[in-house]
Amino acid sequence: MKLLSEITDQSLGLPGDIEKLNESYRLRKSARAVLLNGNGEMAVQHLQNHHYHKLPGGGIDQGESIENALKREIKEEVGCDCNIGHLIGVIIEYRNEQQLIHFSYCYSATVTGEIGEPALEPDEIEEGQVTVWVKPEEAVRLIETDKPDRYHGHFISRREETFVREFLNRDDT
> How far is C-alpha 23 from the geometric centre of its chain's CA atoms?
26
Judged by phi (left if over 0) then psi (alpha if -120 to 50, else beta), residue 158 lies in alpha
Q: Give the whole-angstrom CA distance, residue 82 versus residue 95.
A: 30
Task: Please give the pLDDT value at position 1.
Answer: 82
Q: Residue range 83-101: average pLDDT?
A: 96
| pLDDT reading at 21 higher than 80 | no
User: Is residue 120 within 8 Å of residue 48, measured between CB atoms?
Assistant: no
| pLDDT reading at 172 higher than 70 | no
Q: Longest C-alpha distance within the chain, in Å?
A: 49
Least confident of 21-25, 97-101, 126-130: 21-25
Domain map (residue ranges) of the chain: 3-20+27-169
Binning pLDDT at 50, 70 and 90, where does residue 22 land? confident
| pLDDT reading at 9 higher than 50 | yes
Q: Residue range 93-99: average pLDDT?
A: 94
CATH topology (fold) of 3-20+27-169? Nucleoside Triphosphate Pyrophosphohydrolase (3.90.79)
Q: Which among 52, 93, 43 has a CA at the least distance from the CA of 73?
A: 43
Return the beta strands (E) in the chain as ranges.
3-8, 26-36, 42-47, 52-54, 57-59, 81-95, 100-112, 129-134
| pLDDT reading at 148 higher than 60 | yes
Contacts of 145 (CB under 8 A, 6+ apart): none
User: Is residue 159 within 8 Å of residue 34, measured between CB atoms?
Assistant: no
Q: Give the whole-angstrom CA distance, residue 149 versus residue 164.
A: 22
Query: What are the start-end ranges of the H helices in 103-150?
Result: 122-126, 136-144
Residue-averaged pLDDT of the chain: 95
Q: Which among 129, 21, 20 has a CA at the least distance from the CA of 73?
A: 129
| pLDDT reading at 173 higher than 50 | no
Query: Distances from the Cα of 91 to the Cαs of 48, 77, 143, in angstroms?
Result: 24, 21, 17
Task: Please give the pLDDT value at position 82.
Answer: 98
